Amino acid sequence: MAFDTDAALAKAEQAGLKLAIKGRLGAAMPFLVFYSAIGDYPAILLGLGALALFMGLGVLHFWLIATGRESRWHRFVFVAVDVSIFCAIAIFAPLSTLGDLPQIFVFRIYTIAYLMVFLAVSTLSLSPTLVLWTGFCQVVGVWIAFGWIVSGMDRTVTWGDVPTHPRQGDVLAVFFDPDFIGTGNRVVESLCLLVSTSILALAVSRARNLVRTEARAQAARENLARYVSPNLVERLAAAAEPFGAVRRQQAAILFVDVVGFTRFAEQNDPETVIAFLREFHSRMAQAVFDHEGTLDDYIGDEVMAVFGTPEPRADDAARALACAHAMRRVIASWNVERASRGMPSVRVGIGMHVGTVVAGSTGSTDRLKFAVVGDAVNVASRLQAATRDLRCDLVVSQAAMHAAKADLLAATLRDVSLRGHSAVAVVLFGGQDLPSA
């Protein structure tokens, strides 16, 4: 199954959003405690209520995500509502003990600091769009709150009130006047918010690219796991060229397929046939992986395995022979299970040979497949087919037995004629000689 990068990103984004909600709750808590301790009551209650509402909305959003009820548009609505709460706090709740000062004075002191914390928390969502939306809403919210406060002022002071030839005290007097609105300062703050938002959105976008990279690596590992033993997956996935260059090498080749499968497929519905193949392939593949082989291909009901790729090993033939016997035990156990359900038994034919093969990637440039080809592959395939005439379930060439260092003293050697070959010496294994694991 192909790895869904978009699904991985969506999952990471959702996990990041839950973390962002936890972050906002954690960020709001110190302010709630601080202002609860120093605030003037009952005036402070309005601001504390707004903070509590802000935290409650976070809990609601987290619940929506955890229960699967959240839609993507919810995220943008919650951000807009959060900024609206902040605007209400900035307009109506001083949250300070600075005395009877105009609201614009408190607005000038605290606004940008709170917004930067809120903006930083939004990056945990791993969504560049949400970060940009947060920054945009904050800038709009700042100007709405600023305009609301200024429109209600009886007196305003601006930089235009500085004398034509000011002294230092004249400038400071204007700047520190409680009714100084500082429109230019608000512009600079807005620009800082927008620039910070853009930088943070780029950082989040880079983080998403890292997620994509990890998703591709995971896809590579999952694809490799379909063909090679799981204990080799991590090592191969980390290699620049996992299977190496095209090369000629020694390998052990094993073929297994179901005897009478064509008739079975004709007599059963497609769903039954596919279900049977999946179960058969799964059991054979596990036997291959248990013996650290490479699953080369499924060809209908036939399974081809290679021992010696991606890297040849001294015990390739021994592991291939052990795998063949393991397959026979698996089929015997499966037949016991099938018999208990009133199902017919399964017969297989297995052929094994060792020899020189050419190993490398085949296919088109946009769809490559690792494969091994050569006469050894053909011999193994024909030995598998010969199990029908020889009335056995495993045929192993004498060359493979020697390579596996198997005991031939009690074995019965036979010469088998194969198409395109002179007689090949083989050892036959029937249904009554299943070796122990």
pLDDT at 379 over 70: yes
| DSSP three-state, residue 351 | strand
Q: Do residues 190 and 238 share a domain? A: no
The angle formed by the CA atoms of residues 230, 231 and 232, to the nearest 5 degrees, is: 90
Reported as a single tens digit per residue, the pLDDT across 269-296 is 999 999 999 999 999 999 998 998 888 8
The DSSP H or E segment spanning 416 is: strand 413-416
Q: Do residues 318 and 409 share a domain? A: yes
Residue 199 lies in a domain: yes
Contacts of 428 (CB under 8 A, 6+ apart): 390, 392, 394, 395, 412, 414
Residue 437 lies in a domain: no
Q: Do residues 209 and 259 share a domain? A: no
Q: Do residues 295 and 176 share a domain? A: no
Reported as a single tens digit per residue, the pLDDT across 172-228 is 888 888 888 888 888 888 898 899 999 999 998 888 888 777 777 777 666 666 666
Q: CATH code at 275?
A: 3.30.70.1230
pTM: 0.53
* pLDDT, position 323: 95
Reported as a single tens digit per residue, the pLDDT across 122-178 is 887 778 988 999 999 989 988 988 888 888 888 888 888 888 888 888 888 888 888
Q: Do residues 245 and 215 share a domain? A: no
* pLDDT, position 437: 42
The number of distinct structural domains making up the chain is 2
What's the pLDDT band for 73 if we cut at 50, 70, 90?
confident
Q: Determine what percent of the chain is predicted with pLDDT higher than 70.
A: 83
Reported as a single tens digit per residue, the pLDDT across 419-436 is 877 778 888 887 555 554
Q: Do residues 41 and 147 share a domain? A: yes
Q: Which is it for strands 413-416 and 367-373: parallel, antiparallel or unpaired?
A: unpaired
- Domain residues for 36? 5-222
Q: Do residues 203 and 336 share a domain? A: no
Which of residues 195, 222, 249 is at a domain's end? Answer: 222
Q: Do residues 138 and 181 share a domain? A: yes
